[in-house]
Amino acid sequence: APSAGTMGLPPKPPLRSVDVQDAAARQQVAKEKLQEKAAKASRRVYLNEDGDEVEEEGADKGPSLMEKVQEISERLRAELGAGTATDRYNAVSEEQARGAVLVDRTQIVAACGEDVAHSLKGYQLVGINFLTVLSRSSSVGGAILADEMGLGKTAQTIAFLGVLHHNAQTKWAAAQAQAQATGQRVRGKPPMPHLIVCPASLLENWQRELRQWCPRLKVVTYYGKERDLVREPLVAWLRRAREAKCGPWAGRLPPKPGTLASDDEDEPDAPSEEGGDGEWRGSHMGDGGWEEEEEVCGVPLCDPASGASAPFDVLLTTYSLFERDSPDARQDRAFLTSWQWSHLVADEAHALKNKNAVRTKKLMRVARACKRRILLTGTPLQNDVAELLNLLRFLMPSLFGEEAEDDDDDGEEGEED
């Protein structure tokens, strides 16, 4: 069979499935030892008025955590079936091996350009396939890409988003063409945009990398004093989409001008993307009400009533929007939750390792509007299982607990980092 680097597949798993790799010590760790660490990380001892130990919690959470991980793995195998990377090791021909690859360089050429496709390393192609596998799973809410610093996590992520958007745009264009040819409504849904959150110090780097690795993506930067110039026309676009009852944007309710949104307010239910018969409902809306040719960060705003997708493909912002509780910050977060996002990408995701931090709680609220979540981090978690659990909770709150979401209250400040 072809090599892993050539085919974009992960390396062969270790023979002993009971062992887990400890990246910090670069050695195999027995499953029982990891369970012991997990139990210690969540152990709580309660004392009475005399200081005597009366109750203990968490002693049995180590096995429980490992059982959850095992359950996820089994559900992934069942969902992916013949598409799992392990099929490569049972393949008897190169043709069968290629069937296990989800994204190859040909697809990257179509989405990002030939130069980008040939610039990606073999292990980066592995990472793109890893993200693709988990994005197609209904059991997992996203992925943690934890390559070491300098190995190109940003490039992998951008190429993945580019391929994802290109495939969705191709399907949407085909659905529109078929509807036009048959005179029926459009079946399917337009591509959803992606939200990228990074430290302010890396904002310019992300702008540069997006231009380099997928120049076809339409990027809007939401940061600094220019936020109002970006938000106002996009809010107007959303209101126009709501008036025209256009597809996934029909039910989004951005904050009204001059009002302050509160993080305590209940989020509106996500709008229905399809009708009961699987048809998109925004394809034959009337004209009018959208005469101005506006641009945001160089991206033209088309009339949403024309059946178009979102006016941008990526919105790039920073963690600073989730670290303050000012009226402006609330308005910003309400604006972000007004959109329906395909993927949320959180760079330097070790910043979310504390589930009680203000940043984590506020971003978790916005993450509710995202279909999938991707965490990028090259910083070790100091062998603290609780910190890893917090990142998993951010990815899959329904499975690992929702404390990071439900404890958020404007009258009760979170912890400072």
Q: Residues of the chain with pLDDT > 70: what percent? A: 55
Q: Which residues of 344-368 are buried (b: 16+ CB within 10 A; e: fewer)?
A: bbbbbbbbbbbbbbbbbbbbbbbbe
Residue 168 — pLDDT band, cuts 50, 70, 90? confident
Q: Is the dihedral of CA 53, 57, 61, 64 positive or negative?
A: positive
Q: What is the pTM of this model?
A: 0.70
Q: How many residues does the chain have?
A: 417
Highest mean pLDDT among 194-198, 355-359, 365-369, 390-394: 194-198
Q: Residue 14: its pLDDT value, please? A: 46
Q: Residue 283: its pLDDT value, please? A: 32
Angle CA 350–323–332, to nearest 5: 120
Residue 303 — pLDDT band, cuts 50, 70, 90? low
38 pLDDT above the threshold of 60: no
Residue 314 — pLDDT band, cuts 50, 70, 90? very high
Quick one: average pLDDT of 21-45? Answer: 53
Residue 172 — pLDDT band, cuts 50, 70, 90? confident
Q: What ranges do the domains of the chain cover?
A: 1-41+60-101, 107-274+289-406
Give the pairing type, strands 341-346 and 314-318. Answer: unpaired
Q: Residue 197: its pLDDT value, please? A: 94
Residue 346 — pLDDT band, cuts 50, 70, 90? very high
199 pLDDT above the threshold of 80: yes
1 pLDDT above the threshold of 80: no
Over the stretch 54-91, which tens digit does the pLDDT of each residue have? Answer: 554 444 555 566 676 677 667 666 655 544 444 443 43
Over the stretch 229-251, which tens digit does the pLDDT of each residue have? Answer: 888 888 888 887 777 666 665 55
Q: Residue 16: its pLDDT value, please? A: 42
CA 255 from chain center: how many Å?
24
CA 138 from chain center: how many Å?
13
Q: Which residues of 97-132 are buried (b: 16+ CB within 10 A; e: fewer)?
A: beebbbbbbebbebbbbeebbebbeebbbbbbbbbb
Distance of alpha carbon 169 from alpha carbon 177, whole angstroms = 12
DSSP 408: -
Distance of alpha carbon 369 from alpha carbon 253, whole angstroms = 13
Average pLDDT, the chain: 70
In CATH, what number does 107-274+289-406 get?
A: 3.40.50.10810
- Residue, of 197 and 126, whose pLDDT is higher: 197
Q: Is 245 exposed, middle or buried (0-12, 13-18, 19+ CB in 10 A)?
A: middle
Q: Is 46 exposed, middle or buried (0-12, 13-18, 19+ CB in 10 A)?
A: exposed
Give the pairing type, strands 341-346 and 194-198. Answer: parallel
Distance of alpha carbon 400 from alpha carbon 207, whole angstroms = 33
Quick one: average pLDDT of 10-25? Answer: 45
Q: Residue 285: its pLDDT value, please? A: 32
340 pLDDT above the threshold of 60: yes
- Give the CA dihedral 316, 343, 275, 237, nearest 10 degrees: 0
DSSP 162-205: HHHHHHHHHHHHHHHHHHHHHT-PPBS-PPPPEEEEE-GGGHHH
